Chain A
Amino acid sequence: MSGAAAGEAERDPGLQPERTRLAWRRTTLSSTVVTVLAGKAALAGGGSVAAGAAGAVCCACWVGVLVVAHRRIRALAGGGLPEGLVPPYAAVAVVCLAVTVVAGAVLVLLG
């Protein structure tokens, strides 16, 4: 950063918060694709209760990822000095994916 930019300390030439925000957005999109595929697997299960329940679990996990991403995007869009990611957010997103995998394994074995 040049000396002239010192007056506007809030400007980040690397646009780091924006890039991080967009990375969260891409992650929600990937998560949506996975949930759509899981939904297809659940519907292909022939309407059994177990397949429906596994599909519902996948959808709940998708909502969990969306909530975490939404909070993180709100925090990063707030301007000022961005707060770092705190562990529970990362862990909740990962736990959601892990539960999706378990439900997905049930769907695969049922199908």
Chain B
Amino acid sequence: MIDFVRNVRLWFAPAAVREEGETPDYRFSLANERTFLAWLRTALALVGGGFAVDQFLPDLRWGWRVGLALALLAAGALCALRAVNHWVRCELAMRRGEDLPVSRFPALLSLVVAVVAVVMVVVVLVGWEA
């Protein structure tokens, strides 16, 4: 958590990142950038899913609809924040010649998406309508 707060400062400070270590091969930096963008699109898909649940399941009971939509929106925001944090950490590791950081986040996100999918199937099949 302390690392996260320190990294937040780096998100907005290009000079501070460039002061660390040596500039890696530009291809590695671009690959890191594409990974960041892929995570950002994952976040966008979650946010889009939240809007879709809200707009296209009008028969669902209010609590379920709003709860699922807000959960997907929050997951999207979390995924986006984590994407930029992970990008900064990878960039710093590459500049310092360290191992790339490992992360639990992909496994966690997979579990959340699986749970949401199962809940959606149950809700649609059982049809808890208003």
Contacts and interface: CB of A to CB of B under 8 A. Distances in A.
B26 A16 contact: yes
Nearest to B7: A87
Main secondary structure of the interface of A (DSSP, over half): helix
Given A19-B34, A37-B52, A41-B51, A27 B44 contact: yes
Main secondary structure of the interface of B (DSSP, over half): helix
A90 B88 CA distance: 9
A20 interface: yes
Contact of A91 (B33, B38, B44, B84): B84
Contacts of A33: 44, 48
B41 A27 contact: yes
- Give the contact-size bracket for chain A: 35 or more
Contacts of B77: 97-98, 101
Interface stretch (B65-73, B113-121, B122-130): B65-73
B37 A108 contact: no
Interface string B51-95: 110110000000000100110011011001101100110010000
B109 to A, nearest CB: 16
A107 interface: yes
Interface of A: 12, 14, 16-17, 19-20, 23-24, 26-27, 30-31, 33-34, 37-38, 40-41, 44, 81-82, 84-88, 90-91, 93-94, 97-98, 100-101, 104-105, 107-109, 111
